[in-house]
Every structure is written in C-alpha cells, then in structure tokens.
C-alpha cells in the first residue's frame, strides 16, 4: 500500500520538475524569438559602432597630432620670424647709433628666439630644429662680432640673417601645407564615417522594422502588464507585483524587475550622499559661469586635517559625523558672510569647495574657522593621548581645518581647469606647512584618542 505522505512528496517533486522544465523552455523560446527579431538590427548596429569607433579613434589621433604637434610648430615658426625681424631692427639701430640699450633689446629677442626653437624641438621636428639651430648659431656669431666692433664685412651679418629668414619661411610654408593636407584628410574621413554609420544603422533598423511586428505580437500583452507593474514600482508601490503566468516568456523578467526595484530602494537608503551637498561637477559649472560673466571671484578649498587618521582611530561613523558637521558649518558661514551667490560643495574626501566674492573671503574664513574650532570639540573626547601615524610616543592634536584661497580677477584665467590647477599648487604648499605644524603640537593642545 502506498504511503500518502510519500505520494504527496513525489507529486510535489514532479510539479517542481515541470515548472523547472517549463521555465527553461520559456527562457530558450524567449531568447530565440527576440534573437530572431532583433538579430539584424544587432548585427548592423554593432558593425556601425565598430566602424564609428575605429574612425573616431583615427580622427581623435589626427586631432591630437594637430593640437600637440602641428599647431605649436606653426605658432613657433611665426614667433621665430617675428623675433628674427626684431633682432635685425635692433642690430641695425646699434650699428648706426652704437647705443648699448639696443644690445640688451637684441638679447631679449634672442632668448625668445631660443625658447621657440625649444618648442619646435618638443613637437618632434628635430630635423627642422637642427637646420634652424645651425643657421641661428651662425647668425649669433655675426651679431656678436657686430656688437664687439669686430665686423669687417657688414654683408656677412646681413646674408646670415637673410638665409635664416628664408629657411624659417620655407619651413613654415612646408608645415602649413602639411597641416592643410592633414585637416583635409580628417574632414574626408569624418564625412565617410558619418555616411557609412548612418547607412549601416538604417539598414539594421529597416530590417528590424520589417521583422519586429511578427516577434512582438505574442509578448505584447505580457509586456503591457509588466509595464503597468513597473510604473507602480517606480511610484513606490511594491504591493502589486506583475501578474504574469509562469508559462509566459517574460515571467522571470517580471520577477527580476520586482526584486530589483526593492533592492534599489534599500540601496538608495543605504547609499545616500554623506554630506548631501553638491560636488565638484557643480563647482566646475559655476566656475565656467563666473568666467563667462567676467566678474572677479574667490575659490576656497577647505580641508579637514587628519580625517583619515580620525577614521582609523575613531571609526568611519565618527569621520562621517565630522564631514557632515563641517559641511553644515561651511554652509552657515557662507550664508551669513559669503555674500549673494556664494556656493559650497563637497569635492570628495576631506575637501570642500567654496566660491564667493573676493571681499567676503576674510569674514567667511574667520567665521568658518571659529565655528569649526568651537564645534569640533563636541565630537571627540579631549584629554586622551594616542600615538600618531608614525607610531611615535607623542600625542596628536584634534583635527583642524585649512582653507586655501585663490582670488581670480578679470581675464586672469580662461577655464575652470586653469583655476583648479593654480589652487592645487597653492594647496600643496599649504598642506605641507600644516603637516609640519601638526608634527610639533603645542603644550596643552587637546588630543584625539
């Protein structure tokens, strides 16, 4: 006689096996249907992307070659020619008036000429550099004899200058011709890339437009139900999962969408921004706007000293509290003392970015530092002593805040990148000074444990 419990277990196993087989068939069938419908578009789209990527890489290489090689070389030739003409004018005036001031002016233009020769060498034009350098050495020798009063034949100096000027002109024309040919070739390549990319993409889309209706007809109903369920999930309602039978092709996708939206909700809560302040991208956009307006402004970088050490000793939660406190204090100081249009952003890590009018820098910095020094003690326990990062038997003071400021006047910078590079240079010096001071703490300073 068959045991009823064993019979139920066997039936449950058979049902689970049927569901597993059906799910596998459903997945395979879905892959085949979608693959047959969109294979043409996928193939031609991939071909178009590969073709575009290869040609764009070639165009980018050409553009970099023009930017870093040809344009600097052409500019150097122009400056070389102007510098040589200026030297000739000063040499001629000296030959007539014998005034030493013209010798000094000649030497200034000489240094400018040599600097442009070095630029020409850096662009990879070693042969052109060698040719011009040899002619210029000859020209320098003739000029030196002229200034020393040892020139016997005035035509010697004039002929060396003429030869050098002609060589610069010939090389300039040659480089200009090369640059025009490179630009023309890049333009032809660009037009060809656009034409073939559009052609390949259109072929793929036309084939898909012809095949896709046959493929999407069967799964349209299930897709519609999944769409409605997804809209409810986007609005925060996870109580109504998509009711799609297991035999449908997209049932597994519906389950994955439901799980994914729930996970995203949890991750959003866990990964919310630490300081809730905008970052470096917004700051760069504001810098570009300030440059376009043409008004002077100040860029400040506020750095929390020893934040990593605090995280190691006090834990990440305490370091996060310090970041939030600092962000709040900087925001309050900017609101009260930064003037209209001031900006506070978190650049990441231990640094904050502040943009404000130059006249408000001093009151803002004083307010920010004073509030930081007053509030930071509430986060820690003064009086405890620990070894510093180098494991030496001395105490480490409580963290401080260092504010590095760069005043940018009208037409002093052309882009946000120039401003940030200048600020980084100043910041490096400030950080070194701050670290040197922190290595020798004063007596009675509160310490962090």
pTM (2 decimals)? 0.38
Judgement on whether residues 78 and 208 belong to the same structural domain of the protein: yes
User: Positive or negative, the Cα torsion across 38, 43, 49, 52?
Assistant: negative
Helices (H), 271-360: 280-293, 307-314, 316-337
Distance from the Cα of residue 81 to its chain's centroid: 37
Q: Is residue 306 within 8 Å of 399, Cβ to Cβ? A: yes
Residue 87 lies in a domain: yes
Residue 445 lies in a domain: no
Judgement on whether residues 250 and 204 belong to the same structural domain of the protein: yes
**What's the structural domain count of the chain?**
2
Picking from 225, 255, 272, the residue at the C-terminal end of a domain is: 272
Picking from 246, 272, 298, the residue at the C-terminal end of a domain is: 272
CA angle at 172 for the pair 63 and 77, rounded to the nearest 5°: 85
How do residues 94-152 score in pLDDT, each as one tens digit? 888 888 888 898 889 888 988 888 888 887 667 877 888 888 888 888 888 888 877 66
DSSP 266-294: HHHHHT--SS----HHHHHHHHHHHHHHT
Measured between alpha carbons, how far is 304 from 399 in angstroms, rounded to an integer? 7
Residue 158 lies in a domain: yes
Judgement on whether residues 234 and 303 belong to the same structural domain of the protein: no
Reading the block at residue 428, the tokens are 């490096």
What is the predicted pLDDT for the residue at 365?
Answer: 93
What is the predicted pLDDT for the residue at 30?
Answer: 57
Give burial (CB, 10 Å; 0-12/13-18/19+) of 233: buried
Residue 444 lies in a domain: no
Residue 33 lies in a domain: yes
Judgement on whether residues 261 and 303 belong to the same structural domain of the protein: no
CA angle at 349 for the pair 348 and 352, rounded to the nearest 5°: 60
Judgement on whether residues 147 and 225 belong to the same structural domain of the protein: yes
Which DSSP letter does residue 125 get? -
Q: Is residue 123 within 8 Å of 68, Cβ to Cβ? A: yes
Residue 46 lies in a domain: yes
Judgement on whether residues 178 and 116 belong to the same structural domain of the protein: yes
Judgement on whether residues 151 and 266 belong to the same structural domain of the protein: yes
Judgement on whether residues 65 and 202 belong to the same structural domain of the protein: yes
Which H/E stretch holds residue 347?
Answer: strand 343-348
Judgement on whether residues 180 and 38 belong to the same structural domain of the protein: yes
The CATH number that applies at residue 425 is 3.30.70.270
Judgement on whether residues 255 and 292 belong to the same structural domain of the protein: no
Measured between alpha carbons, how far is 240 from 242 in angstroms, rounded to an integer? 7
Query: Tens place of pLDDT for every residue, the chain, 449 residues?
Result: 445 555 555 455 445 445 444 444 555 555 666 666 567 677 777 887 887 888 888 888 888 878 778 888 888 888 888 888 888 888 888 888 888 888 898 889 888 988 888 888 887 667 877 888 888 888 888 888 888 877 666 677 788 888 888 888 888 888 888 888 888 888 888 888 888 888 877 877 777 667 666 666 656 666 776 777 676 655 545 555 566 655 555 556 666 666 666 565 554 444 334 444 556 677 788 888 888 888 888 889 999 888 888 788 878 888 888 888 898 899 999 989 888 888 888 887 888 989 999 999 999 999 999 999 888 877 775 444 444 444 444 444 568 888 888 888 877 777 888 888 888 888 877 766 666 555 554 443 343 43
Please, how many CA atoms are within 13 Å of residue 198, restricted to the half-sphere of its CB? 6
What's the domain range around 302? 280-438
Closest of 417, 322, 299 to residue 375, by C-alpha: 322
Judgement on whether residues 288 and 268 belong to the same structural domain of the protein: no
Judgement on whether residues 299 and 330 belong to the same structural domain of the protein: yes
- Under DSSP, is residue 70 helix (H, G, I), strand (E, B) or coil? helix
Residue 300 lies in a domain: yes
Measured between alpha carbons, how far is 53 from 46 in angstroms, rounded to an integer? 10
Edge-to-edge strands of the sheet including 297-304? 343-348, 351-356, 297-304, 401-408
Residue 353 lies in a domain: yes
Picking from 272, 295, 324, the residue at the C-terminal end of a domain is: 272
How do residues 288-327 score in pLDDT, each as one tens digit? 888 888 888 888 999 988 888 878 887 888 888 888 889 8
Q: Which residues contact 419 (CB under 8 A, 6 or more apart)?
A: 287, 299, 406, 408, 413
């Amino acid at each position: 006689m068959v045991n009823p419990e064993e019979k139920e277990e066997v039936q449950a196993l058979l049902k689970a096996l049927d569901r597993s087989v059906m799910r596998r068939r459903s997945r395979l069938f879905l892959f085949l249907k979608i693959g047959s419908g969109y294979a043409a578009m996928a193939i031609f789209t991939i071909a178009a992307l590969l073709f575009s990527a290869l040609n764009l890489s070639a165009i980018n290489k050409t553009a970099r070659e023009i930017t870093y090689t040809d344009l600097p070389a052409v500019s150097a030739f122009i400056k070389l020619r102007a510098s040589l003409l200026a030297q000739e004018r000063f040499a001629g005036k000296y030959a007539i008036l014998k005034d030493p001031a013209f010798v000094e002016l000649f030497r200034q233009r000489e240094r400018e000429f040599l600097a442009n020769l070095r630029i020409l060498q850096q662009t990879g034009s070693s042969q052109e550099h060698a040719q011009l350098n040899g002619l210029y050495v000859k020209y320098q020798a003739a000029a030196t004899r002229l200034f020393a009063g040892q020139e016997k034949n005035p035509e010697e100096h004039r002929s060396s200058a003429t030869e050098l000027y002609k060589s610069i002109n010939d090389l300039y024309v040659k480089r200009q011709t090369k640059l025009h040919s490179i630009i023309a070739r890049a333009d032809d390549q660009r037009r060809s890339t656009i034409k073939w990319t559009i052609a390949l993409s259109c072929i793929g889309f036309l084939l898909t437009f012809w095949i896709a209706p046959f493929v999407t007809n069967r799964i349209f109903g299930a897709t519609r139900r999944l769409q409605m369920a997804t809209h409810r999930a986007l609005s925060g309602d996870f109580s109504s999962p998509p009711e799609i039978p297991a035999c449908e092709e997209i049932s597994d996708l519906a389950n994955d969408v439901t799980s994914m939206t729930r996970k995203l909700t949890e991750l959003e809560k866990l990964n919310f921004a630490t300081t809730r302040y905008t970052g470096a991208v917004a700051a760069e956009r504001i810098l570009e706007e300030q440059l376009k307006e043409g008004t002077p402004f100040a860029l400040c970088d506020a750095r929390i000293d020893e934040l990593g050490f605090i995280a190691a000793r006090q834990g990440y939660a305490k370091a996060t509290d310090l970041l939030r406190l600092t962000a709040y204090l900087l925001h309050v100081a900017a609101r009260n003392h930064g003037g209209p249009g001031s900006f506070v952003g978190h650049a990441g890590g231990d640094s904050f970015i502040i943009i404000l009018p130059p006249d408000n820098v001093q009151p803002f910095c004083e307010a920010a530092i004073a509030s930081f020094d007053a509030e930071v003690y509430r986060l820690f326990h003064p009086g405890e002593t620990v070894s510093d990062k180098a494991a030496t038997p001395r105490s480490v003071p409580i963290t401080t805040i260092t504010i590095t400021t760069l005043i940018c006047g009208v037409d002093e910078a052309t882009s946000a990148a120039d401003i940030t590079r200048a600020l980084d240079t100043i910041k490096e010096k400030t950080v070194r000074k701050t670290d040197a001071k922190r290595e020798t703490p004063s007596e009675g300073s509160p310490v962090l444990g």
